[in-house]
Structure 1
Amino acid sequence: MRAVTVRTFGAPETIELADLPLPQPGPGELRIRTLATGVHPADLAVRSGAVAQYLPPQPFYPLGWDLAGEVDAVGADVTGFRPGDRVIGLSHWFATRNGVQAEYAVLAATAVAPAPAGVPTAVAAALPLNGLAALQAVEATGLTRGQTLLVTGAAGNLGGLVIQLAAARGLQVIALARPEDHAFVTRYGARHTDAVTPAEADAVIDTALLGAAVLPALRDGAAFVAVRPGPPIVERGIRHTVVDVRPDGAQLADLAAMVAAGRLTVRVAAEHPFTEAAKAHARLEEGGLRGAVVLAF
């Protein structure tokens, strides 16, 4: 099978298509024929070498975190899935280095859910990583209905999912975004702002990586939820949490049901054939996207 890999760190052109053995599912696992996969900043960080110091040496690194596809084979002890089922799933790449940007991928059945019905494959593929990260970030705030959540980078791919999921839980959402994104963030029930107001939020989910710059917006004892590791926030009783997204088939099934019902919008900004993975990386690196970049298989 062919897979998107990195052997030498560097520019997008260093990406290689490698021929790898067909993976075999073990107990509790599924083999999935890939139809589409997301391309994420984490993929760019691996390919560029930005996180090379954290990676164990190996001849090459297969890329890819999430996918939409069709069950091809099931391992022992798997219930609830059978060959031919359309599914979506997540591989925690930094924990396993099990890249799913390949014609076939093996995932634990517990990391997989039925694909949302009635939506394009590219949309389904764009859901797992960012959808689970958004949901788990909202949960990490500990907020309850009526409390106020500030979301930075609210019009971005992850931020847009956060504001939708937070509003669905009855939170008062303040969306920090550019003026040109006003229509998007308000469509989903958020209040738009392009500047921080002091002490107005019970929590922040910092998808824009602004860090300490948003602290004035938080009340004493508020929650600061980061989506990447960074310096800890230690002041005014603020609770600092870093979301390390975890595969969760049950949560993913709930998100897929929301997408299928039209209660959660997943945006796709660009779609490329997997043979043009380098172009997809280059486009994502340019920035300014308001949706996912997807590879079609």
Structure 2
Amino acid sequence: MRAMAYETYGGTEVLKEASLPIPKVAPGEVLVRVESAGVNPVDWKIMAGGLDGLMDVMYPVVPGWDVAGRIARVGIDVPEFAEGDEVVAYARKDYIHGGTFAEYVSVPVRALARKPASLDWDQAAGLPLAGLTAYQLLTRLGTGPADTVLVHGAAGGVGSFGVQIATSFGARVIGTASAHNHERLRGLGCEPVEYGEGLADRVRALAPDGVSVVADFVGGVLDVTLAVLAEGGRHASIADHSVMGAGGQWMWVRPSGRDLTELGRLADAGQLTVTVARTFPLGALAEAFELSQAGHTAGKIVIKI
């Protein structure tokens, strides 16, 4: 099969197009014929060695964790799915090796969900990791209709999902973003505030009694979080472990077919949209990574296989 792979840590120069064996399908797994695969910053951070202290690596590495495609083969003991089913997954495994920037990828069934009917392949591929990150953080904090939620980084890939998901839970949502993103955020159901000096005062002007939930998707904002959090409020971060010393939770996303199914339900109900900023062919993965590294896209970057 065609795949993009690397044999050593480094920058985009280590990525090469390769011909690799089609992955084996273990019990409890399926083989997915990839239609589209979403790009996330963690993909190129892993390639640079950023998770070397956490996860074992088996070379050659095919990067990528987000996938949308059709099941090509079903492993032993997978009664839930059949060949030809259209599926999505956050296909992270227990070690770094066979990812989604390839024609085929094996996926544990625990990570698998049916593709939302309302999303095309590119949109579906942009949903899993970022959508699950926002969903799991907000549900872990018990977010509901009685809450006023502050989302740090509301215009980003995870933050924009967080805004929509919190809104679908019935919460009031305030989100930090630069001014040129405010109109887009209003369209998602958010009350935007500009980040920077004086942010806590601007949030307090909208919520004089404080906010009950803070979702930090950017890091470096703990002082603002504590300044606006109401008594008894809850907060969590995906980017700043120091929140644990201030009564907050530090979390990372887990593969979950059940949670991904719920995100698909929200999408099909019209409560969750996925914006695709740019698509690239498989062979242009290095260019896609460089665009992601620049950090200026308003939406998901997707590889079309």
Instruction: Specify if TM > 0.5.
Output: yes
- Correspondence list, 1:104-253, <5 A: 104-194=104-194, 195-196=199-200, 197-198=203-204, 200-214=210-224, 215-228=226-239, 230-235=241-246, 238=247, 240-253=248-261
Amino acid at match of 1:45: K
Residue of structure 2 in register with 1:270 after alignment: 278
Q: CA deviation at 1:126?
A: 0.5
Q: Secondary structure of 1:59's partner?
A: strand
Q: CA deviation at 1:287?
A: 1.1
Aligned counterparts of 1:57 and 1:23: Cα–Cα separation in 2: 16
Aligned counterparts of 1:249 and 1:59: Cα–Cα separation in 2: 27
Give the TM-score normalised by structure 1: 0.92
Amino acid at match of 1:80: E
Q: Specify whether residues 110 and 56 from structure 1 end up closer, same or farther in structure 2 by C-alpha distance, changes over 3 A only.
A: closer
Q: CA deviation at 1:57?
A: 5.2
Q: Secondary structure of 2:149's partner?
A: strand
Aligned counterparts of 1:50 and 1:111: Cα–Cα separation in 2: 23
Aligned counterparts of 2:78 and 2:54: Cα–Cα separation in 1: 33
Q: Specify whether residues 229 and 213 from structure 1 end up closer, same or farther in structure 2 by C-alpha distance, changes over 3 A only.
A: closer
Amino acid at match of 1:83: E
- Correspondence list, 1:53-64, <5 A: 53-56=53-56, 58-64=58-64
Q: CA deviation at 1:36?
A: 0.7
Which of 277, 282, 295 is matched with 1:287 structurally? Answer: 295
Aligned counterparts of 2:268 and 2:57: Cα–Cα separation in 1: 41
Q: Specify whether residues 247 and 187 from structure 1 end up closer, same or farther in structure 2 by C-alpha distance, changes over 3 A only.
A: same
Q: Specify whether residues 57 and 128 from structure 1 end up closer, same or farther in structure 2 by C-alpha distance, changes over 3 A only.
A: closer
Report if the CA contact (8 A) 1:92-1:245 is conserved. no
Aligned counterparts of 2:266 and 2:143: Cα–Cα separation in 1: 21
Residue of structure 1 in register with 2:267 after alignment: 259
Q: CA deviation at 1:225?
A: 1.1
Report if the CA contact (8 A) 1:140-1:241 is conserved. no
Aligned counterparts of 2:28 and 2:55: Cα–Cα separation in 1: 27
Amino acid at match of 1:210: G
Percent identical across equivalent pairs? Answer: 31
Deviation string, structure 1 residues 276-297 (Cα, Å, up to 9, x no partner): 1000001111111111111110
Q: Secondary structure of 1:34's partner?
A: strand
Q: CA deviation at 1:256?
A: 1.5
Shift >4 Å, 4+ stretches = none
- Show structure 1 runs of 5+ residues with no match: none
Amino acid at match of 1:223: R
- Show structure 2 runs of 5+ residues with no match: none
Give the TM-score normalised by structure 2: 0.90
Q: Secondary structure of 1:52's partner?
A: coil
Q: Specify whether residues 258 and 232 from structure 1 end up closer, same or farther in structure 2 by C-alpha distance, changes over 3 A only.
A: closer
Amino acid at match of 1:89: A
Moved more, 251-260 or 156-165: 251-260
